[in-house]
Amino acid sequence: MTRTRRRWRSAALVAAIGLGFLVAPGAVQSASAAPGPRPSFHLPFPCGDQWRLDSWGHAPALDMVRVPRSATEGSVIAAPADGVVNQSFYHSQAGNVIQINHGGGWFTTYRHMQVRYATAGHQVFQGQTIGRVGHTGPTSNGTPHLHFELAVDANGDGQASWGFAGSERVRPWFNGVEYAQSNGQTWLHVYSNNCGEMPGVASTSSRMHVFVRGTDRALYKKTYAGSWPVSWTRVDGSVLNSAPAAAAWRDANGAQRVDVFASGAPDANGITQVLQKTSYDDGNTFSGWQVIGGNLTTQPAATVLNGTLYLFGRGTTETSTAVPPPGTTTPASVSTATPGTPGSGAPPTRSTPHPARRASATTRHRPGTSVPTCTPTGSGGAVRRRPGPVRRSPAGAWGT
Ligand SMILES: [Zn+2]
């Protein structure tokens, strides 16, 4: 009987431990190595800037200089996604360094900064200025540039090592495009889409809706019906990777509806999912988010022509061809709807559910998760000196 009781007790203890894991996901997460979905990263520079990216001999790290290069020194560095500053300090080799923790195990690191405007623990939002490009630290070789690294906390210690082969750095992604797969690569004129967010607006016959993305990246709305409410209404808690777009319209079935669109998280193939939410009661209640296609690199824009809804946004290549609605020409300013996205076809209606379009998913590369297999030095954040400059560019390498 004592034995039985003991057995029961240990069973209860096991159950309690299991429950402990369930109710304390934060504690479990810090000990597990599984990273969350990759945030939707922009180039770490203000909207519209153009930069040259080089992997030199330290892929997947990138060195960045501005176009024109003479404008590099002092250029603003903007957070590529929301996050919390994890490190901000002067390193004897790398100069002024900032590292941002973007959540889910994803980190970005910036070296040789002229000046740092954020200190450890500061919450930063996408597009926020965190410092300026410089040439601090001896490994900058005195050449103004930004050394950038994306990293994944692979060992689950809550940190991301950087600065040496074998650290937790991985291939960078900007606007859904992967960079620095190998050494000796150059990208010219990479355009920053790290822009501010516009609200999505839509009006029915009697009401006007405004939709924004909150600082928690969830969808919020205000509805005007004779007056404005004081507070924003949180529509739901799904994390969005872009600001919303909205359209109020009467569809092919004659149904009055309000649709809201936004980009969601990338799927396993790195394809950013475009989401849709619909209301059939004048915007009072919305259905859940539905995945309707993939891979816009901008906030979408929505409009309606003759009972058909069209969605526009820039794709991952600047040569994307617009697919205009029948009988119209596409304005030049909206010339980059992406083939294979909702912009290229008819929208969902209630009678014909919209199939998810993932035809191109199998041809895409998976997100870069491999790291160099060199032996780590074991000291996170350490900078290893390189044997010499990397040849390949007439301009010469500008350090590590
Ligand atoms: Zn470098």
Find the mean pLDDT for residues 262-291. Answer: 89
What pLDDT, on the 0 to 100 scale, is given for residue 400? 52
- In this structure, which residues have their CB less than 5 angstroms from ion ligand 1? 63, 147, 400
Per the model's pLDDT, the better-predicted residue between 163 and 344 turns out to be: 163
| Cα–ligand 1 centroid distance for 1 (angstroms) | 69
Per the model's pLDDT, the better-predicted residue between 49 and 342 turns out to be: 49
Decide if pLDDT at 321 tops 70.
no
Which CATH number does the domain 50-181 belong to among 3.40.50.300, 2.70.70.10, 1.10.3720.10, 3.60.150.10?
Answer: 2.70.70.10
Find the mean pLDDT for residues 354-359. Answer: 29
| Cα–ligand 1 centroid distance for 112 (angstroms) | 9
Residues 6+ apart with CB under 8 A from 23: none
| Cα–ligand 1 centroid distance for 138 (angstroms) | 12
| Cα–ligand 1 centroid distance for 147 (angstroms) | 4
Residue 293's pLDDT band (cuts 50, 70, 90): confident
Residue 40's pLDDT band (cuts 50, 70, 90): confident
Return the minimum-mean-pLDDT range out of 69-78, 151-160, 347-356. Answer: 347-356
What pLDDT, on the 0 to 100 scale, is given for residue 398? 53
Per the model's pLDDT, the better-predicted residue between 100 and 340 turns out to be: 100
| Cα–ligand 1 centroid distance for 245 (angstroms) | 38
CA–CA separation, 50 and 69 (whole Å): 10
What pLDDT, on the 0 to 100 scale, is given for residue 32? 53
Which percentage of the chain shows pLDDT scores above 70? 70
| Cα–ligand 1 centroid distance for 60 (angstroms) | 10
Which whole-number Å values give the CA distances from 291 to 212, 263, 341, 352, in the listed order?
19, 9, 11, 15
Per the model's pLDDT, the better-predicted residue between 111 and 242 turns out to be: 111
| Cα–ligand 1 centroid distance for 379 (angstroms) | 18
Q: 195: exposed, middle or buried (C-beta count within 10 Å: 0-12, 13-18, 19+)?
A: middle
Domain boundaries, the chain: 50-181, 200-363
Q: What is the pLDDT of residues 61-78, one digit of tens each?
A: 999 999 999 999 999 999
Find the mean pLDDT for residues 351-364. Answer: 28
Average pLDDT, the chain: 76
Q: How is residue 305 written in tokens?
A: 């022509």
Residues 6+ apart with CB under 8 A from 65: 51, 52, 54, 72, 144, 145, 146, 398
| Cα–ligand 1 centroid distance for 387 (angstroms) | 13
Is the pTM higher than 0.85? The answer reads no
Find the mean pLDDT for residues 85-109. Answer: 97
| Cα–ligand 1 centroid distance for 67 (angstroms) | 17
What pLDDT, on the 0 to 100 scale, is given for residue 343? 34
| Cα–ligand 1 centroid distance for 9 (angstroms) | 58
CB 343 within 8 A of CB 334: no
What pLDDT, on the 0 to 100 scale, is given for residue 114? 98
| Cα–ligand 1 centroid distance for 35 (angstroms) | 25
| Cα–ligand 1 centroid distance for 383 (angstroms) | 11
What pLDDT, on the 0 to 100 scale, is given for residue 316? 61
Find the mean pLDDT for residues 155-159. Answer: 95
CA–CA separation, 217 and 188 (whole Å): 32
CA–CA separation, 344 and 321 (whole Å): 10
| Cα–ligand 1 centroid distance for 146 (angstroms) | 7
Question: At 189, is the secondary structure helix, strand, or coil?
Answer: strand
| Cα–ligand 1 centroid distance for 309 (angstroms) | 46
| Cα–ligand 1 centroid distance for 368 (angstroms) | 19
Residue 241's pLDDT band (cuts 50, 70, 90): confident
Which percentage of the chain shows pLDDT scores above 90? 55
Among the listed residues 55, 274, 326, the one whose alpha carbon sits nearest the alpha carbon of residue 169: 55
